[in-house]
Amino acid sequence: MINSSLQNVFSPLRIGPTEVKNRIFSSAHQTSLVREHQPTPELLAYHRERARGGAGAIFLEATAVHPSGLLTPKTLAGYEPAIVDGLSEIRTEVHSHSTRLFVQLFHGGREQIASAPKAPAVAPSAVPTTRFHVEPRALTRAEIQEIIEGYATAAEHMMMAGLDGIEVSSSHAYLPSQFFTRRSNFRTDEYGAEHPLRFLNEIMDAVRERVGDKIAVGCRLALDEMSQSGLSEPECLDFASAVSESLPVDFISFTLGDSATFSGGAFIAPRPRTMPESILARMPQKREGGPVIMATTRVTDIHEAEAAIAAGLADMVGMTRAQIADPHLVRKAQSGERSIPCIGCNVGCIGHYHAGLPIACVMNQATGRETSLPQPTFRPSPAAHGGKRQVAVLGAGVAGMAAAVELASAGQQVTVFEKESEIGGQLRLAGNAPDHQFTWETWRDWQYHLIESLPIKVQLESTIGERDLAEFDDVIDARGAKPYRDERFGGVNNVEIIDAWDFLQNPEHYAADNILISDWGGEPTGLDCVEVLLGRGHTVRYAFGGAMPATNIHYYQQFGYLKRIDVAECEVIPFTQVDAVDGSAVLRGSFSDRVSDLPAGTTKVIIAHGRVPAIDAAQTVGERVGDVDGPRTLEEAALEGYRAARALSN
């Protein structure tokens, strides 16, 4: 039965020669489930699961049309004939669930992430690009024609593989849109910025000539490049109108961001703090007639998609990260079942891509592992082998709750002991900072839903001794981490030393004038303190050790932080952190070891210098998981809790 509140979402739609069964799609996103530029069984299993989950259409990831357009070593090569067989297998599996399969044809131009040895980068003109620090050379006319032929050849391969459509990537300042503007195009020939759509027009004509009307053909465009040097929303809409009116397209897919700049890059896969509203809040009213309009960027609520379609803002909506978290989002929405939420952390999805790792998800350990792990059901199943066991989980942070949920789903009886008055551990503390508030609240609400749905008993404000554990068959120790406190700072007498965790727990307890934040630069805690102070209207001095703040977090979270602290109220002191020398706090250069006085007037220093396990290894009980076994990230905590629980249950 179709959910009546989602009647627009679940209505069919014709896109050129094909019809989709509903209006939710999974947009093109890199999975790294690619070997030697060809599809793999893992890629097939990944998309098969999303088709099983009810998506109306799936767009395969950016697929290069020419060797010079291979963005990374794990980019599909659409120009190679060998790709036809692999994509045919994926198409067969996806079609068996009545889901349509599209692909994105791609050339990054001067935007290149490839590891060494790199091929030379090419672009309309020899203009270096800021974000990836690539120095391209200008394309010759002959090379332009060769790349256009590459699009046509790749499109023909997609048609041979039985795909339903192709999308030419012309967004995010990739090659076609590099011809749009003098920021990247200083040519004086017929492909100059005075003729911004010529290159794209010739691509679309070549593609149409090769595939005709047998498959749908469309274009991905930016709605706004979201950077000072990029295309503004009015300029993007002008280009979209020109494409709609003059190019042979069946659909236009809108997105946000700009790969060429740090500021625009923050909006390619924005975190909730960077972009509280989705792209749907910015969409103009759809024109009558014309191509199908699609939109995707940070849409995680299917009811928001329903409202946008009903209001005529879009015909289809991409819910990509939401389906990374739960590939069965569409099916569950149809039946009224609650889906696994996307918490907006970006850790396993885009974070893994930039690390060259297979896609994953903190909220769903089966993501990217579909060939070996089943999708979670969160319904108790009969206990395997030895029957139901009594399991104690020590700590209700991310690792402990991941273990508890998996154990309870496997039919075990679980009791979670938590010394604090709330679940969440470090994530709860981080939720006091604006960058993590959405992540924390979404995770917390989902955990309480699971606690109510599964046989999990949680005892808050509770500690447990060895005698109490005797009644349990197994124990998982997930007691987390605590801040590293350098004992030398206890003797400092020239300023007040405040631990970052204490500050984030109760920022209102600390007078915030004349504060310096000293951040070791590994994880976000120091930056969180900066944001809390800025949000309370204070000026901030921020010193970070190393070459970059928060080096252990992914690009998109980094970009968001640095964009928000790049304000007059924040004085940044790079490559420096606070040290203690002869009873006084001083600044020490990270590379030079040069010592200098604290800035004049400093009365308080907030210290964020890393973490250590909350319990010594000798004091742990049972199997250690997460930060108690060594502080790391949200991802390792969730994965280790899950794996330990599966090992006990199988």
- Give me the CATH number covering residue 625: 3.40.50.720
In degrees, rounded to 5, the angle at the alpha carbon of residue 319 between the alpha carbons of residues 398 and 49 is 75
Sign of CA dihedral 498, 503, 509, 514: positive
Give the 3-state secondary structure of residue 399: helix
**Which two structure tokens, joined as six digits, stand for 64?**
């290069």
Same domain, 423 and 542: no
pLDDT given for residue 556 in this prediction: 83
Same domain, 577 and 640: no
pLDDT given for residue 385 in this prediction: 56
365 located within any domain: no
Helices (H) and strands (E) in the chain, counts: 19, 30
Same domain, 61 and 38: yes
Give the 3-state secondary structure of residue 218: strand
Look up the CATH number of the domain holding residue 39.
3.20.20.70
Q: What length does the chain have? A: 650
pLDDT given for residue 512 in this prediction: 76
pLDDT given for residue 383 in this prediction: 66
| Least confident range of 131-140, 230-239, 551-560 | 551-560
Same domain, 504 and 471: no
60 located within any domain: yes
pLDDT at 2 over 70: no
Beta strand pairing call for 57-64 and 100-106: parallel
- What residue type is 31 in one-letter code? T
Q: What number is the average pLDDT over the span 535-545?
A: 95
pLDDT given for residue 386 in this prediction: 59
pLDDT given for residue 193 in this prediction: 96
Q: What number is the average pLDDT over the span 390-398?
A: 97
**Which two structure tokens, joined as six digits, stand for 304?**
């928001």
Same domain, 603 and 634: no
Number of structural domains the chain divides into: 3
pLDDT at 368 over 70: yes
pLDDT at 1 over 60: no
Residues 534 and 569: beta-carbon distance below 8 Å: yes
pLDDT given for residue 579 in this prediction: 97
Residues 218 and 250: beta-carbon distance below 8 Å: yes
Same domain, 103 and 221: yes
Q: What number is the average pLDDT over the span 444-451?
A: 98
How far is it, in rounded angstroms, from Cα 614 to Cα 404? 20
Residue 29 pLDDT level (bands cut at 50, 70, 90): very high
In degrees, rounded to 5, the angle at the alpha carbon of residue 392 between the alpha carbons of residues 414 and 415 is 40
Residue 288 pLDDT level (bands cut at 50, 70, 90): confident
Q: Which helix (H) or strand (E) holds 122?
A: strand 122-123
Residues 110 and 131: beta-carbon distance below 8 Å: no
412 located within any domain: yes
pLDDT at 248 over 60: yes
pLDDT at 83 over 80: yes
Same domain, 434 and 504: no
366 located within any domain: no
Residues 82 and 38: beta-carbon distance below 8 Å: yes
Q: What number is the average pLDDT over the span 276-286?
A: 95
From 108, 240, 237, select the one nearest 184 (Cα to Cα). Answer: 108
From 56, 40, 46, select the one nearest 95 (Cα to Cα). Answer: 56
Which domain-ending residue is among 354, 374, 402? 354
Which domain-ending residue is among 336, 354, 372? 354
Kindly give, in sequence order, each residue whose CB lies less than 8 Å from that of residue 21, ignoring residues fewer than 6 positions away: 12, 56, 98, 99
How far is it, in rounded angstroms, from Cα 231 to Cα 225? 5
Full domain range(s) for residue 9: 4-354
Model pLDDT for residues 401-433, shown as the tens digit of each residue: 999 999 999 999 999 999 999 999 999 999 999
pLDDT at 127 over 70: yes
Q: What number is the average pLDDT over the span 40-68?
A: 98
**Which two structure tokens, joined as six digits, stand for 480?**
């987390």
pLDDT given for residue 95 in this prediction: 98
Same domain, 184 and 254: yes
Model pLDDT for residues 200-220, shown as the tens digit of each residue: 999 999 999 999 999 999 999
71 located within any domain: yes
pTM: 0.96
375 located within any domain: no
Q: What percent of the chain shows pLDDT beyond 70?
A: 99
Mean pLDDT across the chain: 95
Same domain, 238 and 162: yes
How far is it, in rounded angstroms, from Cα 486 to Cα 577? 13
Which domain-ending residue is among 332, 354, 376? 354
Q: Using CB atoms within 10 Å of the CB of residue 375, give its burial: 0 to 12 exposed, 13 to 18 middle, 19+ buried.
A: middle
Same domain, 526 and 546: yes
**Which two structure tokens, joined as six digits, stand for 268?**
């390619």
Give the number of other CB atoms < 10 A from CB of residue 350. Answer: 21
Residues 412 and 392: beta-carbon distance below 8 Å: no
How far is it, in rounded angstroms, from Cα 615 to Cα 613? 5
**Which two structure tokens, joined as six digits, stand for 634?**
């949200």
592 located within any domain: yes
From 69, 78, 1, select the one nearest 34 (Cα to Cα). Answer: 78
How far is it, in rounded angstroms, from Cα 560 to Cα 345? 12
Same domain, 145 and 279: yes
Look up the CATH number of the domain holding residue 556.
3.50.50.60
Sign of CA dihedral 287, 252, 368, 112: negative
Residues 459 and 365: beta-carbon distance below 8 Å: no
Same domain, 120 and 178: yes
pLDDT given for residue 117 in this prediction: 85
Residues 540 and 518: beta-carbon distance below 8 Å: no
Residue 501 pLDDT level (bands cut at 50, 70, 90): very high
pLDDT at 598 over 90: yes
Residue 115 pLDDT level (bands cut at 50, 70, 90): confident
